[in-house]
Amino acid sequence: MITVGQSKARRLALHAGHTAGLAVFMVFAMFPLFWLVKISLTPNNLLYSEGITLWPSSITWDNYQFALLGSRFPRFFLNSVVVSLSSAAIVTLVAAAGGYAFSRFRFAGKVPIMFVMLLTQMVPLVMLIAPIFKIMSPLGLTNSLTGLIIVYTAFNVPFATFLMQSFFDGIPRELEDAAMIDGCTRLTALRRVIFPLTLPGMGATLGFVFTAAWSELLFALMLINSDDKMTFPVGMLTFVTKFSVDFGQMMAAGVLALIPACIFFAFIQRYLIQGLTAGAVKG
């Protein structure tokens, strides 16, 4: 028979085990970020001479100064902000409309359309580079931020639509019916009743698409060939020269590139957490 003291000791041991496991996971997850910051603050003459150390014997801000003032990184940074925010906003709006339609209406071809949209997520992106380039080149959309936004929008809409559909499925139809009985049109019911309830889902979708566009390299590398139009993942390659790699400057640019993503997620954090956990408690 387990006594009260043994039960309390077991709970404390279990809590300590969970805390230790969480601490190990946090160290494992945050170590790459720590190493990124460490390398960005290490002087070039100490980068190899000191060997592997947890912290350099001296630090420098020269790498950040070069990234901000001596390179084209600010331009790459601005291009990424424009492309990522535009893609995220467009995809979220289109996916919300599509997800609502798939959730609430029955129409001819609904199942085949959903099947085709799902099928697009199974095609390796590398196989689509040549066809996309051949389509976009005559339209003048290569080497263009507009073309990049179109590509990111097209590839993110299917998954985002299914994501939004799951949120609409979790909202009872009776809410819309009650609103329409009270005199609202379907559009008014959607705007006043359904839309506020789907903000967590839209926040999750916005965050997913923003992250995907912000870190995407393949299409940006293949479709953009001008320094003025490069996004920062492609611009990071400019720190790699024929005979050397400027690791300190590259890491400094990487740290700076994390700032807008952190700010963006700080604003949508509440909606993002609600959106990611909503599916676990509904239905």
φ/ψ of 129, rounded to 5, equals: -60, -50
- Residue spans of the domains in the chain: they are 4-40, 68-278
CB 176 within 8 Å of CB 186? yes
pLDDT recorded at residue 201? 82
Whole-angstrom distance, CA of residue 131 vs CA of residue 273: 38
Q: In tens digits, what is the pLDDT along the chain, a chain of 283 residues? A: 556 566 777 778 888 888 888 899 998 988 888 888 888 888 887 777 777 778 888 888 888 888 888 888 888 889 999 999 999 999 999 999 889 888 888 888 888 888 888 888 888 888 888 888 888 888 888 888 999 999 999 999 998 998 888 888 888 888 888 888 888 888 888 888 888 888 888 888 888 888 889 888 888 988 888 888 889 888 888 888 777 778 888 888 888 888 877 887 777 766 665 555 554 444 4
pLDDT recorded at residue 280? 44
Whole-angstrom distance, CA of residue 69 vs CA of residue 65: 6
Whole-angstrom distance, CA of residue 110 vs CA of residue 221: 35
pLDDT recorded at residue 279? 46
Contacts 24+ apart (CB under 8 A), 129-132: 129/218, 129/219, 129/222, 132/219, 132/223
Classify domain 68-278 by CATH architecture.
Orthogonal Bundle (1.10)
Output the CA–CA distances (angstroms, integers) from residue 81 to 76, 96, 149, 167, 259, in the order listed: 9, 22, 11, 27, 11
CA dihedral over 112, 125, 217, 38, signed as positive or negative: positive
Whose tokens are 């630090």? That residue is 59
pLDDT recorded at residue 282? 46
DSSP 219-237: HHHHH---GGG--HHHHGG
Residue 184's SS3 state is coil
